[in-house]
Amino acid sequence: MILVLLLLFLALLGLNFYFGVREWWHPKDSAPLPVDVEYVRVENYFGKSFRTKMQEWLQTASPVETTKPCEPPMKSLLEKPNHERILILTGGLLSGDGHEALVYCEGDLQLSDHCSLHREVYCRGNLNSGTGVQFQALAADGEIILGPENDVSRWVDAHRKILLGRGTVIHSRVSSSESIELEEQVAAQSLYASVVFTTGYRPCEPADIAAQMEDSIEETPDGVGQHASPFPEDCSVSQLAADTWLVRGDLHLPEGKRVATNIIVRGALTTGPDCEFWGDVKADRAELGLRNRVHGNLVSGGGIAIGESGWVGKSIAAETDILLHSGVRVGTPAILAAVSAGKEVKMEADVAVYGKVTGGQAVKSVGKIDADCDVKPRAKKRWFAVTVLLALVICQLRMPVFAQAERQLPFTQPQENSSARAANPSDPALGDPTGNYRFRLEAGGFDNAVSNRFGQWWGGLISLSYKPSNRVTTSASLISQTRPAGTEQLVTLDTVIDWSKWFYTQIGVSGGGADDPAAFFPRYRYDINGFFKVPGKPALVLDGGYTRLQFGAPVGGRISRMGAIYYWRKFVFQGNLNFNNVRPGNHKSKSVSGAVQYGQEGHYWIGLTMGGGREAWQTLTLTPQDVQFTSYSTSVFLRKWFTPRHGMAFSYNYAVKRAAYRINGVDVRFFVDF
């Protein structure tokens, strides 16, 4: 009987290698996924593509018979070959909640307050919305005026001007062939137009400023030659080239100072009023005073704040936040510029950018901000121990992966709580060597190096477990992760209950992610798992479970799983088969995982985990595309007790997502039982 069970386990474990061997013999992922280069070249890619697709759909769709005659503004209802419907409007006022069809309007369209459109909208004329309207995405050949508190899940594109009302949120791109105006408390991911401005901007000013700039270029800066140092005598400076100076340490320039060369500051750059830079400026952090002018690019390894009535002739880039005070202008009508921040771009009233504004987290229009509340560097609090890889992060922290296109969220693997439960000292197969401690406090950190320019994914966690009785164990964890796009936190609660000597369950609830399809962590997730010890064979445990998780609409998923755990002497073997279902697209895929570990609770555990399978999901681009990745992961781990109460855990993790990226990482944790 033991031999049969061992062969059964080896068969389940062998499934881990099946996908890899099959791909080796019959490669399917030998070429990268095709990417439309226009996606990165054309700022209005989504609007342009949607218009083209809509014209194709109107040609292929067929009329739908309705029980009631169409009433204005409704003209007809069409159905595509895939049964998706298109609502044809003549123009006018549209009201109601929960419109599920695509909308095509032949004229001007007005939307009533709190109207809700769950699919894309294409308006051939002007579009005007009331308060609290919800969109999926919208394109207009005329102008777009969105009222207060509107919410757009994806993108906005117009041939003419766009006005975003107070409190409106756009979760992706905004593009216009003319201009984009932001009232207060507007947030978007990216904005592009000939001019992007906030309330209070006067369109007549850019030409005047551009003329003044052209006149000032012909002048000679007062007493500043390219070979003479323009900096205070107590500064540590060196000349890198005829037109470039390097300053080591912080630099403060007094009022009216002019610099004719490029400068690099290895520290913080602060300036008084009316300073002028004729070249490029780069600093670890930059705070420019009132009416400062920069004729070149302004770059910072930290944050940037530009004082009132400042001007930058070319682009601005910062690793963290950018603050543009009232009256700031970036670029000129003739030469478009870009403002790019790793975190947030904040724009006060009467700010204008000729070109593009984008933020890793958001671009926001705000009220007056205190001068002290700007870009002071934030200490990067990396946890004591660094790193854990995707195998650990995906299996235990269940975070999505942010890849290409507008946002892409492949499905994540389930948490393998059964491995931890297998090593629980309360299990009859293991005995109880740990002294019946009721609490365990564990803290650590992780860091993952991700290829293909995905950057570093690092963070830490702290968890507390409590065992009020021999039948119940409950735990809570707080997890924080930072990626180049920002930082998010996740809270988890987990309970294991022994109902009898043959059966126990594990129930987990977690959440905390942003209401965003591109969030790292889900908004909520729950897991229900059952474990059955085979009568007469207490060393064999059969398990099954179900997981439900939801990110920002419409991304979510479900997992059903089955597997087995087998104890043999100091070995613990485990195998699981997962059936995944991901939305949007209702895509199904399978994955397997296996683990073997050796040791004893209270002394040490050493082990190996491996997994593989297909990730099937749908991109949230303009035209949804079905995408599949083959993924493999492996992890080597060690958990060691130095005393009966204290110890540490270490793991090295490696994962491959074919045609996407690779991840290497380590995880270090310390724990104490009491």
Which residues neighbour 195 within 8 Å (Cβ) at sequence distance 6 or greater?
A: 179, 180, 203, 206, 333, 352, 353, 354
Is residue 122 predicted with pLDDT exceeding 80?
A: yes
Answer whether residue 86 shows pLDDT above 80: yes
Q: Is the pLDDT of residue 303 over 50?
A: yes
- pLDDT number for residue 554: 67
How many residues are there in the chain?
Answer: 674
Topology classification of domain 380-673: Porin (2.40.160)
3-state secondary structure of 473: strand
Q: What is the pLDDT of residue 550?
A: 84
Distance, first Cα to last Cα, the chain: 40
Chain centroid to CA 27: 31
Query: For the stretch 528-540, what's the b/e string if a residue is b when 16 or more beta carbons lie within 10 angstroms of its beta carbon?
Result: ebebebeeeeebb
Specify whether the CB–CB gap between 355 and 335 falls below 8 A: no
Q: How confident is the model at residue 614 (pLDDT cuts 50, 70, 90)?
A: low
What confidence category does residue 29 fall into, taking pLDDT thresholds of 50, 70 and 90? Answer: low
Mean pLDDT of 582-586: 67
**In angstroms, rounded to a whole number, what is the distance separating the alpha carbons of residues 141 and 54?**
13
* pLDDT grade for 618, boundaries at 50, 70 and 90: very low
Task: Report residue 273 as tokens.
Answer: 């009023």
Question: Comparing 85-94, 160-169, 518-527, 537-546, which segment has the lowest mean pLDDT?
Answer: 518-527
By three-state DSSP, how is residue 532 classified?
Answer: strand
Between these two residues, 504 and 27, which has the higher pLDDT value? 504
Convert the pLDDT of each residue in 477-527 to its tens digit.
999 988 877 788 889 999 999 998 889 999 999 988 877 766 767 888 989
Give the pLDDT of residue 218. Answer: 45
Mean pLDDT of the chain: 79
> What is the mean pLDDT of the segment spanning 562-588?
84
Q: 165: pLDDT confidence band, cut at 50, 70 and 90?
A: very high
- Indicate if the pLDDT at residue 289 is higher than 90: yes
Angle at 200 between CA 197 and CA 205, to 5 degrees: 75
* 3-class state of residue 76 by DSSP: strand
Q: Which pair of tokens denotes residue 280?
A: 């490029």
What is the rounded average pLDDT of the residues 318-332? 93
Q: Among 259-263, 589-593, 603-607, where is mean pLDDT lowest?
A: 589-593
Among 210-224, 313-327, 381-395, which is the least confidently predicted range?
Answer: 381-395
Residue 387 · residue 446 · CB < 8 Å: yes
What confidence score (pLDDT) does residue 220 get? 42
Q: Specify the pLDDT at position 316.
A: 95
**What does each C-alpha distance from 365 to 199, 299, 315, 337, 425 come to in angstroms?**
9, 21, 19, 19, 56
User: Which pTM was predicted?
Assistant: 0.54
Query: What percent of the chain clears pLDDT 90, i.e. is strictly above it?
Result: 43
Distance between CA atoms of residues 566 and 28, nearest Å: 35
Of residues 591 and 604, the one with the higher pLDDT is: 604
Nearest to 259 by CA among 269, 249, 248: 269
Mean pLDDT of the region 128-147? 94
Average pLDDT over residues 570-598: 83
Mean pLDDT, to the nearest integer, of 462-489? 88
On the question of pLDDT at 248 being above 80, the answer is: yes
What does the domain layout of the chain look like in residue ranges? Answer: 44-177, 209-373, 380-673
Q: What is the mean pLDDT of residues 559-567?
A: 90
CA angle 599, 600, 604 (to 5 degrees): 65
